[in-house]
Structure 1
Amino acid sequence: MGNTLSLIRLALTEFLDNLHTFQTLQARIQRSPGFPLPNPSRSFWSYPPSPIATHVSQLPTHADFIVVGSGITGTSVVRRLLYSASAEGHNVRVVMLEARDVCSGATGRNGGHISPPLYHDYTSLKRDHGQAVAQKIIKLRLAHLEELRSVAEQEGILTESQWREVESVDVFYNSDMFEKAKRKVQAYKADLAFDAEHHEVYEAKEAIEKYRLASDTLGCISSSAGAIHPYQFVTGILAKLLSRYPDRFSLCTNTPCTSISPPTSSNPYYTLSTPRGTITTPHIIHATNGWASTLLEKLRGKIIPFRGNMSAQRPGQSLPVPGSNPTSHRSFVFYTRPIGYDYLTQLPTGEHELMLGGGFAQDGDEGYEAMANTDDTTYSTRTAAHLSGVLPRYFGEDNWGREGVPLEGGEGMWAEGRVKALWSGILGISVDLIPWVGRLPRVVSGRSEPPLSSVVKSEKEEGVHIGAAPGEWIAAGYSGEGMVHAWLSGKALADMVLGREAEGRLGEWFPDIMRVTEKRWKKAKAENLLDALDD
């Protein structure tokens, strides 16, 4: 009887603890994310700072399009807007507002991976949305590898952006997880023959020898992927656009949009307030990802901020240097438990730093402390401890060798041990794990729209409208996979805003399931996220 009562008491205590955690989390995700905090933790990517890091154009009183956010999404949108309008002979004015320095949000704080989740998600995507939709999403993700390379080449920043193709290696330490992953690979290869040859399964012995991993590795799955310097990619493009369109593109860093007022009888435009003054426009494009619901209250609980953690580390002296042999350009994802993983890529220059992120499950309450947390001025000490010590364990002490030592003549701004830098960044988690792209219905934006007469007009043909009907637009909610969703989402969104969906052939390559609709907005609920993660 005593044992039974003890078990009941223990079960009740666990239930109440879980209930308290759930209620606390529910309250957090319904709060405003606020605005990006000043003095964020120092990201290794953003040093040295770009020459345009604190660029402040004169704020005009009116713009044809205003993009809020200066990461990869906003950059993609601006580039497409300017290029397309120019090609059609239209002289439009585009303004980009950034709350802090340029590219200081998630893009400039991520892992630099262009590693699309492919077989990982295909089965559940096919089950939930059908085979055709699932394959379209997979193809969109795959397209980013070539698309980012092509853009970097077109802009003349291929070298500084450090774009490179890598072999991506998923490493497993749990037999059930590995067996489940192998079944997913089989299903993926059966349905997507065009990508089948890029996936290989290696059992324990071969995986350990091929990739020089620790002896408890149970197996690996390899595929093709890429990597990039996200900060130099984005700032390099923005610098080119500022030079190319000095009278048409304005970049205003440290100029947050603090509020949005809808049109009135005396003003047919949206009015955006900033510390530098107000500006009007018929089109607002939200590219703020984890902070989107600050200005869009109805998206609270739909796109949830999440604080991720990253590190830059010196490799052990026995690890191969990138470029030393044809197979040394690799990235890794380490799966040690059902929820959460660690991800790693290595820089091709400098000290060949290992860029390691993850540690989700170490961040208190199985990761829940990171949910709805928008404080990137610091990082989780528990996650930092995990990231700082786990690499020799993943590769094995013998394969790791002696610790790396700082190069002589270094800048002296980074720590001198294995870990050079630790920082955090704010992701945007979509509760249905699908990005949100497109026009915001009024029920979601919460604001009335400008009249059609306020749309941009051609200087050559008065009365010919450029662009779709006025409104608010968004591309956000990449759920930690921004590098394989954001650029093409921004490109598609720009075509939507310009009314060029047919010219951009969106029907052929853009998944309609990613569009923002009232039906989807009503259906998306935070409690469904946990069910999705169980897949």
Structure 2
Amino acid sequence: MPFAQMLLGDPAIPTVERQQALDRIFADPGIPQDSTTSPFWLKEPHTDFVTHSSKPLPTEADVVIIGSGITGASIARTLLQDRTGPSSLNKAVHSVFMLEARDICSGATGRNGGHILETADEYAELADVFGDEVAKKTLRFRLAHLKEMLKAVEDLGLTEKTQARKVQFLSAYFGEEPWKAALERLRRFQAGMPEESAEWIAYDRQSMPEEFKLSRAHGVITGPAGALWPYKFVTGVLSHLLSQYPEQFRVQGHTAVTAIHDNTSSDYKYRVETSRGVISARHVIHCTNAHVTHLVPGLRGRIFPLRGQMSAQTPGNKFPCQAAEHSWMFSYDRGFDYLTQLPSGQMMFGGGFARSEGGGIADLGIATDDELSLYCDIHLSGALPAVFGRQNWGQVKGDPVQAMWTGNMAFSTDGFPWVGQLPSSVTHRAGSSKHDVGSEWVSAAFGGEGMVQAWLCGKALATMLLLKEGLASTEADISWLPDQMIVTDERIAWAILPRTVESPHKASL
């Protein structure tokens, strides 16, 4: 069952709290506010984006991308690079303009765990609901992100700067029943996808290598994963595009999009109103994730925000640096945490959601990132010595918690991202016909797993736009994108939460 329905249908949570969460889900999330918590990742701002440009906004752009995270970076890169040739510069994507309400990459991407991890736990559930072929296609899509992103980093010469690395994840289970369930999910994944699961290994408590330092776990499942500095990755991509396409690409921070209006009397179909002026655009692409329904109100109840919490911590003096070898997932009777370690030693530790107020219900529908959850703070601040064992952790010199911050994820009612062209039924604007020149598009709702969904969702969406304009290269293809992620009228009709917690669900999800 998708995430929101589990919380909203939990009878252990008071009805009034569930209804309040549902009301937040259907509310306008607004635009990102200047008041925020401070993520560790942004402590070294990219020199190209330290200050927002004083140049005036352009009056026209072929494509306006709203949002400067990993999704927007992927879309911009694909639009500018994956074209038929120089002649296309005089066509649809002569100008690509990216707008961000705050500092560049200060939203979800600049606040996440930097963890490129697919545990394959979803395979069994996807197979039960949609069949084996959908499960396989979805897992292949998600697993492909590790190779695709590490290749992008290498191609751009960003490996050292972003500290990008392939590691072996250690998914530890601290409970007998969760461990048994994990083994069954692994068995099904290995049976259904033997080639893709070749690197997955299960260790029970007796066979677990001592180097894992996880003797308190009932068992550990290992597999391939990756880690990088997400802010440095995105700003590195954007900086490269600015250098390579100085006449075609612009990025503007501290320029919030406040409204979009039809401009049907012009070839530039949309008037994009911002805090600094108006831009006429042919295409508008929404990459604002938790804030997407501010400008696309018809997606409320289908896409909704959720607040998560991350920290940067100092390891104990007995804990060996495993940044180049491992990353971690910790699963409990209820909830999970995730962890990577930087080469410099810092532990980038997030999660604690199930330990937050109301078992997580208080964070459902929250689109601001200016406050910490007290209970998440308590959990994250104290979990690592307990998980690894105090004998393996030792003492911490100085402040054990270097930074603690929140960020906003976006979830969808049916559990899949939304990727594709938006009809007027959800934008509440005209001019989004599939046959029109110019459209609005969306790539959002990655369910807290953007590092294994957002990059290729962005690539797929940009390819859709190029195909629509007849500018895609001859080998352009998006058959690898799961159909369940594509925006369709049918999906819009059924993939919506009920308006009250007492109402029956409108579809079997």
TM-score (norm 2): 0.91
1:66-465 to 2 correspondences below 5 Å: 66-85=64-83, 87-91=85-89, 92-118=94-120, 120-207=121-208, 209-215=210-216, 217-265=217-265, 269-322=269-322, 329-338=325-334, 340-349=335-344, 352-403=345-396, 405=397, 416-449=398-431
Cα contact 1:115–1:226 (8 A) shared by 2: yes
2:487 match: secondary structure:
coil
Partner residue of 1:484 out of 434, 444, 452 = 452
The DSSP-based 3-state class of the residue aligned with 1:82 is: helix
Shift of 1:123: 0.9
1:22 to 7, 18, 24: 18
For 2:28 and 2:17, the matched residues in 1 are separated by 19
CA 1:228 to 1:515, structure 2 compared with 1: closer, same or farther past 3 Å?
Answer: same
Greater CA drift, 314-323 or 167-176: 314-323
Q: Distance in 2 between matches of 1:268 and 1:44?
A: 40
Q: Report whether the alignment pairs 1:522 with 2:490.
A: no
Name the CA distance, whole Å, in 1 between partners of 2:441 and 2:338: 32
Q: Does the 8 Å CA contact 1:495/1:504 hold for their aligned counterparts?
A: no
CA distance in 2 between counterparts of 1:177 and 1:376 reads 31
Once the 2 structures are TM-superposed, how far is the Cα of residue 354 of structure 1 from its aligned partner? Answer: 0.4
Alignment match, 2:6: none
Aligned to 1:10: none
Equivalent residue for 1:412? none
Deviation at 1:452, TM superposition (A): 9.2
C-alpha contact 2:95 2:249 (8 A) present in aligned 1: yes
| Residue 16 to residue 82, structure 1, CA distance change in 2 (3 Å) | closer
* Amino acid of the structure 2 residue aligned with 1:381: L
Q: Which secondary structure does the structure 1 equivalent of 2:272 belong to? A: strand
Instruction: For 1:476, give the aligned amino acid.
Output: A
Tell me by how many angstroms 1:150 deviates.
Answer: 1.0
| Mapped partners of 1:15, 1:160: distance in 2 | 48
Deviation at 1:315, TM superposition (A): 0.7
Deviation at 1:197, TM superposition (A): 1.9
Aligned to 2:430, what secondary structure does the other structure show? coil
Instruction: Sort the Cα spacing of 1:17 and 1:420 in 2 relative to 1 into closer, same or farther, 3 A.
Output: closer
Name the structure 1 match of 2:439: 471
C-alpha displacement at 1:525, in angstroms? 2.6
**2: CA distance, partners of 1:185 / 1:52:** 44
The answer to whether the Cα contact below 8 Å between 1:310 and 1:356 also exists between their aligned partners in 2 is yes
Following TM superposition, by how much is the alpha carbon of 1:504 offset from its aligned partner in structure 2, in angstroms? 5.0
SS at 1:193 equivalent: coil
Describe the shift of the 1:15–1:229 C-alpha distance in structure 2 as closer, same or farther (beyond 3 A): closer
* Structure 2 Cα separation of the partners of residues 115 and 451 of structure 1: 37
Q: Which runs of 5+ in 1 are unaligned?
A: 1-13, 406-415, 454-467
Q: Is residue 40–residue 377 contact of structure 1 (8 Å, CA) maintained in 2?
A: yes
**Deviation string, structure 1 residues 414-448 (Cα, Å, up to 9, x no partner):** xx411100001100011111010011122122211
Q: Which residue of 2 aligns with 1:49?
A: 45
Q: Distance in 1 between matches of 2:357 and 2:498?
A: 19
Change (3 A) 1:452 1:508: closer
1:32, 1:297 within 8 Å by CA — same for their partners in 2?
Answer: yes
Deviation at residue 255 of structure 1 after TM alignment:
0.1
Query: Residues of 1 paired with 2:12 and 2:130: CA distance?
Result: 36
Residue 189 of structure 1: CA displacement?
0.3
1:16 deviates by 9.9
C-alpha distance in 2 between matches for 1:521 and 1:425 = 27
**Based on CA coordinates, which of the two structures has the bigger radius of gyration?**
1
CA gap 1:452/1:474 in 2 versus in 1, 3 angstroms: closer
Partners of 1:33 and 1:180 in 2: how far apart?
36
Larger deviation, residues 430-439 vs 50-59: 50-59
TM (norm. structure 1) is 0.86
Asked if the contact 1:315/1:400 (under 8 Å) is kept, the reply is yes
CA separation in 1, counterparts of 2:118 and 2:312? 22
Q: How far is the alpha carbon of 1:469 from its aligned partner?
A: 3.7
Distance across 2 between alignment mates of 1:224 and 1:451: 42
Aligned-residue Cα RMSD (Å) equals: 2.3
1:272 CA displacement: 0.4
Return the offset for 1:238: 0.7
